């Protein structure tokens, strides 16, 4: 998983979370879009995206560990 910076037409930047296959993680994209529409700063959006990346990686690891024992 990685955070991808996206440059928009008007030189604004957004951040999205991309999975291992290169597809955006839709719940994160929607949440960051919501934060953007509420006027959060670019640094806030970037920080949230990295924090959500850590959370989703944690969930993936937890699932792998759980599957080993089930």
Distance between alpha carbon 60 and the CA centroid of its chain, in Å? 14
- Mean pLDDT value across residues 20-25: 94
Helix axes 42-69, 26-37, angle to 10 degrees: 160
For 4-20, write each residue's pLDDT tens digit.
999 988 888 899 999 99
> Residue 38 in 3-state DSSP?
coil
Percent share of the chain, pLDDT over 90: 76
Query: Other C-beta atoms within 10 Å of 64: how many?
Result: 9
pLDDT at position 70 is 61
Contact between 63 and 55 (Cβ < 8 Å)? no
Backbone angles phi, psi at 53, to 5 degrees: -60, -50
Q: What is the pTM of this model?
A: 0.85
């Amino acid at each position: 998983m990685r955070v991808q910076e996206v440059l928009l037409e008007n030189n604004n930047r957004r951040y999205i979370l991309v999975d291992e296959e290169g597809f955006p993680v839709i719940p994160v994209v929607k949440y960051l879009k919501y934060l953007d529409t509420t006027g959060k700063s670019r640094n806030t959006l970037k920080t949230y995206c990295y924090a959500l990346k850590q959370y989703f990686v944690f969930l993936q690891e937890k699932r792998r560990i759980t599957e080993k024992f089930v």
